[in-house]
Structure 1
Amino acid sequence: MKISQLPIVPDQPAEVPPVYCRSIKITNFRCFKNPVEISLLDSTGCPAQWTIILGENGIGKTSILQCLAGASVRPDILPTKKKGSPDKPVVQPLWSAQEWLQWLLPRRHTKDQLFECSLELQKGTLLADPSSDLFPWKYGFKTSRKEGHFEMTSTIVAADPANMAGFLMYGYGAGRRMAVTSRVPYGPNPDDGLRTLFDDDRPLSNAEEWLLELDHLAKTPHNGQAKANHALKNVKALLLKVLPDIDDITTKVSMNANADQSPLVRVVFKHVSGALLDSRSLSFGYQTMTSWLVDLTRRLYQRYPGSKNPLAEPAIVLIDEIDLHLHPKWQQNVMTYLSDLFPNTQFIVSAHSPLIIQSSKANNIVLLQRDGKAVSVKQDLQSIKEWRVDQILTSDLFGLERVRAPESEKLFDERTALLSKSKLSAKDKRRLEILDAIIERLPMGETPEMREVEDLLRQVAAEHKMK
């Protein structure tokens, strides 16, 4: 594998004040025909580190993330002068680029009606500090056909480029698959860091290539050797923290089958079993987690080249279905790990797992519900941190009526129906005894220890009955 000595360059000027998002309002986009407004704040009035968006499939969770991504600032163009207001420079959102506008046009809920995405932003402090400068950021357009030609009227709220320079987001779609060979380019345009939210076929950069590049730069004397060594140690420590059952990450050199070619250098992950696995031999859950975490780490090193710990710097990260491909035990811990590793990152994610909701880091829960043909937003949810998984699943958050297997529920329903009768026949009594015996054997305890206690109590009761 050829390794190129590419410099780690910033995506934006140093010391740009951080910008976080406090709320978003969406009108006329996909399933959101009527305006919906979503708060991204925690109970203290600060931007929540974790906003979890819940809802059925097809109800708009991904659409919210796409609208947030589309509002990201375009650093590929210079601020333009707003017509009629020459003293007010205007920065433009990603939606205004022709390619993205063509993607957006057919996805309005109703044609020739106003599409609008409005955000309230804050600038100048870190995530948990409420003393920030607040300002709006809005983009919208309306189309119409007049006298045989197509017209579009767009509206952009004037924003000072100095305020908006720090408003860059990174987004990861549900696929999050890693590129097989070449790394996806890292230019200043935010397309690279957000496109997988819009295109499932768009791969993320090849994580192995950057790790090999850092390994090479860390071993080669040059001005950036110390920085490359620091970055390599950080990204390895990050992966070892998040990936369960991985003891070490190192490189392995093997001879090429073709003697005329250079030896192959690969990144290998040492499993607790002793197995050495390359990135393609990892399970899909490990691959996707490695892919987006390495991608984000690289982008933060580019964005904050002078920082001692770029992972602790401000950022906004959007993740669609964060629980996808993760084992339940992994789901319980992943948000805590990421909060510790990225303490000033605002995570806005969608999820389907009740285990994600149980996390103490889930400090802002957004529930999307169908309201006739429209979609409504519910955020005044009672605290569910101490709820059991079955209680969460049968709450409004997931809307399940039951959590037992359908066959077991039929037994309970039949027993309830018999007990509701005013008088039982001999046949009913015999059936009730059979149902009681079956139901008595069904496990009720939540843990193996509790189920062992149940079995012991049944055994004692049976022995007592015999005596």
Structure 2
Amino acid sequence: MSSEPIQWYNSRKVRRKQRGAAMYISRVILKNIRGFADLQFDLTRAGGSYAGWTVFTGDNGSGKSSLLKAIAVGLTGRDTARSLQPSFHGWIRDGADDEAAIQLEIVRVIDDDATSESGRNPSSRFPVKLTLTNGGKEPTLQATIPPGKPRNYATPERTIWSPDATGWFSCGYGPFRRVFGASPEATRQMVAPTTERFVTMFQEAASLAEVDQWLRNLKHKELENRAAEREQLALLLEILRDDLLPNQITVDRVDSDGLWLKDRNGVQLAWSEMSDGYRAALALIADIIRHLVSVYGVEGLADRGTDGRIFIRRSGVVLIDEVDAHLHPEWQREIGFWLKRHFPNIQFLVTTHSPIICQAADPNGLFVLPEPGSDVAPRALTKEEYEKVIASRPDTILLTPAFGLHASRPSDHD
């Protein structure tokens, strides 16, 4: 670490007076959305916490991606959601007799999150609700006043849905987390406020190219002796160098060509020469930090534990679809634990087909979606089922309700 003072670390005494949490989701309720007639998930941990690793499993077509997209729509609000998802055709469940709605319960920590205007502060816990209604060729999407709220209820517009409110951090990523290449339409959304934090979740043609540009800009401004950018780059590189990459590969540097890795033999690899797994993981983590810096600034963003290792203090919600994509099983085993160590106050909501990913889940952090067409309701795994997943080998986990296989080996068809 450089001997020059780094503000995000050396102002520790000032920062520890602040609370280290922000926004979380305590409940997710979907009524007649896509394949879900009635999904109700309580995401509260034992003791009332929310941060950590929450995993949604299920067969192909069970609705894992739909669930994360619906949560993203609830987090961003009607106007931003329309930019991300221009058409909601097919979002209302076929044959639905009651309303189709997305409802989240948001938990606020006052020290980090502020409203966009003066007036009465929202309570520490409040619901947000969006209703979909069939109308002509395209369903309408409207903010709805939840039951029991006054007619002038406008908390989401002043908080999580407002571009002017501070805090309320959230972002989301689809399974296609490319660093380069994007369609013109996706490129426009990749640089737009709020939508850029979720665009890969909704558009396969989007990429994380803004990360590459951000890194190059940081290096350029560091060379101009710009203190803020120097601190951001130092923070990012230290996190990425802290036992993230397997096979003794390390992050070497950032220069005008972007990010470089170095293997155990000293061979250097540029972004364009890396495997999909390295590119996707590095871009994802760098992008999360980029958005955290944008929302909170670099001062007070990070701290060190008693072991001297760096971690991000700030909190919020991060959605990752198919978090295991492109990752070797060894990396799948470690990625959840690594993210929890370095982002201990983030609420990660992830989907996966990998039993190894599930082993990082926290208590009340494993949920299963039934196979398509099933009458079984989506549910959380019981305490006993959860403990079996955490303690078992991958082949045994596949036989638990988290995955529902009847056998871990193919049947003999001869």
TM-score bin (small chain): 0.7 to 0.9
TM-score where L is the length of structure 1: 0.68
* 1:170–1:214 distance in 2 versus 1, CA, 3 Å: same
The alignment status of 1:389 with 2:394, answered yes or no, reads: yes
Query: Which runs of 5 or more residues in structure 2 are unaligned?
Result: 1-18, 113-122, 146-152, 303-311
The alignment of Structure 1 onto Structure 2 pairs a total of residues equal to 355
1:108 counterpart SS class: coil
User: Counterpart in 1 of 2:327?
Assistant: 326
* 1:152–1:64 distance in 2 versus 1, CA, 3 Å: closer
Tell me whether 303-312 or 15-24 shows the greater mean CA deviation: 15-24
In 2, are the aligned partners of 1:176 and 1:203 still within 8 Å (CA)? yes
The alignment status of 1:105 with 2:102, answered yes or no, reads: no
2:154 counterpart SS class: coil
* 1:236–1:152 distance in 2 versus 1, CA, 3 Å: closer
User: Counterpart in 2 of 1:243?
Assistant: 245
2:47 counterpart SS class: coil
* 1:24–1:373 distance in 2 versus 1, CA, 3 Å: same
1: CA distance between counterparts of 2:138 and 2:262? 60
User: Counterpart in 2 of 1:212?
Assistant: 216
| Matched residue type, 1:243 | L
User: Counterpart in 1 of 2:35?
Assistant: 31
User: Counterpart in 1 of 2:125?
Assistant: 134
User: Counterpart in 1 of 2:108?
Assistant: 123
2: CA distance between counterparts of 1:150 and 1:390? 45
In 2, are the aligned partners of 1:53 and 1:61 still within 8 Å (CA)? yes
**What are the superposed Cα offsets for residues 102-136 of structure 1, whole Å, 9 maximum, x if unpaired?**
42133322278522011111112699xxxx82211
1:135 counterpart SS class: strand
In 1, are the aligned partners of 2:20 and 2:314 still within 8 Å (CA)? no
Counterparts of 1:138-287 in structure 2 under 5 Å?
138-144=129-135, 154-157=142-145, 158-160=153-155, 161-164=157-160, 165=165, 166-180=167-181, 189-221=193-225, 225-241=226-242, 242-244=244-246, 245-251=248-254, 265-287=257-279
CA radius of gyration, larger in: 1
Q: Percent identity?
A: 25
| Matched residue type, 2:47 | T
**What are the superposed Cα offsets for residues 339-391 of structure 1, whole Å, 9 maximum, x if unpaired?**
12112111000011111122264651001113854452121422222122222
TM-score where L is the length of structure 2: 0.76
1: CA distance between counterparts of 2:219 and 2:262? 17
* 1:133–1:151 distance in 2 versus 1, CA, 3 Å: closer
2:71 counterpart SS class: helix
Aligned with residue 47 of structure 1, among 47, 50, 54: 50
User: Counterpart in 2 of 1:307?
Assistant: 299
In 2, are the aligned partners of 1:331 and 1:356 still within 8 Å (CA)? yes
1:324 counterpart SS class: coil
1: CA distance between counterparts of 2:138 and 2:347? 40
Pairwise CA RMSD of aligned residues?
Answer: 3.2
1:316 counterpart SS class: strand
In 2, are the aligned partners of 1:138 and 1:156 still within 8 Å (CA)? yes
Q: CA offset at residue 68 of structure 1?
A: 0.7
1: CA distance between counterparts of 2:294 and 2:48? 30
Q: CA offset at residue 155 of structure 1?
A: 4.6
Counterparts of 1:323-402 in structure 2 under 5 Å?
323-359=324-360, 361=362, 363-370=364-371, 372-374=373-375, 376-381=377-382, 382=384, 383-384=387-388, 385-402=390-407
User: Counterpart in 2 of 1:403?
Assistant: 408
In 2, are the aligned partners of 1:318 and 1:347 still within 8 Å (CA)? yes
User: Counterpart in 2 of 1:6?
Assistant: none
Q: CA offset at residue 25 of structure 1?
A: 0.6
Q: CA offset at residue 38 of structure 1?
A: 1.2
